Amino acid sequence: MKKLIFATILFSLFLIAPKAQAATYYIDCTSGDNAQAGTSTGTAWLDFDQYGETARSAGDIAVVRRDGINCDNGTDLTILSDGTLTNPITMESDYDNAWGDFASSSQTYTITRGQKEMTASATITGIASGSWIYVTGEDQRVWSYEVASVAGTALKLYLPYKGGPIGAGLTLNVMGVAPKWNNNRANLSVTYNTDEYWKLQGIYWGSGDTVMSLQRMGYMEIKNTIIAGDGGNITGLLLVGKETVLGIYKTRFIDVSFGINTDTGSGTRANIMADDLYFKFVANNSVAFNIGSDTTVRARDIEADGLAGASSGVFKEVSIGTSDARGRNITTVNSTGFLAYANSITTNTGNIRIEDYQSVVGDNRQFSKFSTVKGDTPFLQSSFSTLRSGGGATSIEVNPNTNVGTTWGVMNMKIFEYPIYLDTTKTTFDVYLRASATADWSVDPTASELWIEIDVLASVSGAFRYTKKSTNTISFTGGTTWQNLTLSATASQSGMAYLKLFYAKTKEAGSNEFYVDIAPVFTQ
Q: Which residues bind other proteins (CB under 8 A)?
A: 14, 20-25, 37-40, 53-59, 75-76, 78, 80-82, 191, 193-194, 263-266
Smallest separation, CB 22 to other proteins (Å): 6
- Please, which residue, 293 or 470, has the CB nearer to other proteins? 293
Rounded-to-integer distance, Cα 275 and Cα 258, Å: 17
- Please, which residue, 43 or 153, has the CB nearer to other proteins? 43
- Please, which residue, 115 or 191, has the CB nearer to other proteins? 191
Smallest separation, CB 56 to other proteins (Å): 8
Cβ pair 455, 465 in contact under 8 A: yes
Rounded-to-integer distance, Cα 29 and Cα 78, Å: 18
Smallest separation, CB 208 to other proteins (Å): 14
**Counting every residue, how long is the chain?**
524
Q: Angle CA(107)–CA(112)–CA(115) in degrees, nearest 5? A: 105
3-state secondary structure of 322: coil
Partners of residue 4 on adjacent β-strands: none
- Please, which residue, 196 or 397, has the CB nearer to other proteins? 196
> Which amino acid, 155?
L
> Which amino acid, 387?
L
Smallest separation, CB 47 to other proteins (Å): 14
- Please, which residue, 264 or 492, has the CB nearer to other proteins? 264
Smallest separation, CB 21 to other proteins (Å): 6
Smallest separation, CB 27 to other proteins (Å): 13
Rounded to the nearest 5°, which phi and psi values hold at 16?
-95, 5
Rounded-to-integer distance, Cα 238 and Cα 190, Å: 10
Q: Buried (b) or exposed (e) across 453-488, using 16+ Cβ within 10 A?
A: bbbbbeeeeeeebeebebeebbebeeeeebbbbebe
Sign of the C-alpha dihedral, residues 155, 156, 159, 162? positive
- Please, which residue, 38 or 337, has the CB nearer to other proteins? 38
Rounded-to-integer distance, Cα 37 and Cα 79, Å: 19
- Please, which residue, 56 or 185, has the CB nearer to other proteins? 56
Smallest separation, CB 264 to other proteins (Å): 5
> Which amino acid, 284?
N
- Please, which residue, 43 or 359, has the CB nearer to other proteins? 43
- Please, which residue, 21 or 123, has the CB nearer to other proteins? 21
- Please, which residue, 75 or 481, has the CB nearer to other proteins? 75
Smallest separation, CB 78 to other proteins (Å): 6
With residues binned 3-state (H G I as helix, E B as strand, rest as coil), the percentages for the chain, rounded to 5, are 5, 40, 50
Smallest separation, CB 13 to other proteins (Å): 12
Rounded-to-integer distance, Cα 458 and Cα 515, Å: 32
Smallest separation, CB 450 to other proteins (Å): 38
Cβ pair 377, 371 in contact under 8 A: yes
Rounded-to-integer distance, Cα 68 and Cα 46, Å: 10
Rounded-to-integer distance, Cα 173 and Cα 139, Å: 11
